[in-house]
């Protein structure tokens, strides 16, 4: 999934056919995130969340012209000195991404470093490009990472992987990440577009009401906010929905369902 890009800029939002794509767009700077970029991401997230026909958000990066593809070199640490920014401000971006209504897919088409790794972890699903590198250098810079980022690392990497990431600052190879189950797929550049598109298509084929309700329940379970009564009510709502009736009818008639989101 590629989008024709304008000159280097803040992240670019493109919406078409129920799919929003946000592309990091500073390839010459290895897509380093400046404070203005973080504000643009928050604005894009708000647009995506409010546009109810958007069911999938893909986050990727422009890597044209780079010697080796880099999805994102992380947060511009010079931004720490700007009033009202720094780690606490950065934390709001992956937290907002994790809380979005649509299913989020990180099309990780290059190496990723620092705080940008948490953007990847905040997505629901990930496709990785073979040959990428991953590194979390927080402690090498003298920084204790923020709470929600540590929680996501432990959730996705397990405690052993999180300890390795933060207590050694050593890079992970693509194969090490794959062995931890981080990716839906780890593919070559030749298979990239087809793999990402197939994943997006599979998500779009699901019942949106059930998908979005289930995503919320899984996130609550992960963050310790699980309320069985709330989850049970979501179950009851979907069991009475037009989508569930359509899903059962389609199964009985051996055809693809046509879901309407209610």
Domains and CATH numbers, the chain: 12-204 (3.90.226.10), 208-253 (no CATH)
Least confident of 63-67, 83-87, 93-97: 83-87
Mean pLDDT score, 68-96:
82
Q: Is residue 87 over pLDDT 70?
A: no
Under the banding of pLDDT at 50, 70 and 90, the label for residue 3 is very low
In this structure, what is the dihedral angle of CA atoms 107, 113, 119, 125, given to the nearest 10 degrees?
A: 40
What integer best gives the mean pLDDT of the chain? 92
pLDDT of amino acid 60: 98
pLDDT at site 4: 47
pLDDT in tens, 15-35: 999 999 999 999 999 999 999
> Angle 100-77-42 (CA atoms, 0-180°, nearest 5)?
20
pLDDT of residue 2: 47
The DSSP 8-state label assigned to residue 32 in this structure reads P
What is the C-alpha to C-alpha distance for residues 164 and 167, in angstroms, rounded to an integer?
5
Mean pLDDT in residue range 106-125: 97
Mean pLDDT of 105-134: 98
Q: What is the mean pLDDT of residues 140-164?
A: 95
Buried b (16+ CB within 10 A) or exposed e, 161-196: bbebbbeeeeebebebbeeeebbbebbeeeebeebb
pLDDT in tens, 215-252: 999 999 988 888 899 999 999 999 999 999 989 998 99
What's the pLDDT at 5? 47
């Amino acid at each position: 999934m590629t989008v024709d890009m304008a000159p280097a800029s803040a992240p670019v939002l493109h919406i078409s056919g129920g799919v929003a794509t946000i592309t990091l767009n500073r390839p010459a700077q290895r897509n380093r995130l400046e404070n203005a970029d973080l504000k643009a991401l928050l604005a894009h997230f708000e647009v995506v969340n409010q546009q109810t026909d958007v069911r999938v958000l893909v986050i990727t990066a422009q890597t044209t012209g780079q010697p080796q593809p880099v999805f994102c070199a992380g947060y511009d640490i010079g931004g720490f000195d700007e009033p009202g920014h720094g780690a606490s401000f950065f934390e709001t971006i992956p937290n907002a991404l994790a809380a979005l209504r649509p299913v989020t897919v990180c099309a990780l088409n290059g190496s990723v470093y620092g705080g940008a790794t948490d953007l990847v972890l905040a997505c629901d699903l990930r496709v990785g490009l073979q040959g990428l590198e991953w590194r979390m250098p927080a402690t090498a810079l003298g920084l204790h990472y923020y709470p929600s980022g540590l929680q996501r690392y432990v959730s996705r990497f397990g405690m052993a992987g999180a300890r390795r990431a933060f207590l050694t600052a050593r890079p992970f190879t693509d194969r090490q990440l794959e062995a931890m189950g981080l990716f839906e797929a780890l593919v070559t550049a030749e298979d990239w577009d087809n793999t990402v598109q197939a994943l997006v298509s599979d998500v779009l084929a699901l019942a949106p009401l059930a998908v979005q309700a289930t995503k919320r329940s899984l996130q609550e379970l992960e963050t310790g906010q699980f309320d069985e009564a709330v989850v049970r009510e979501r179950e009851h709502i979907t069991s009475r929905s037009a989508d569930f009736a359509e899903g059962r009818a389609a199964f009985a008639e051996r055809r693809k369902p046509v879901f309407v989101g209610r």
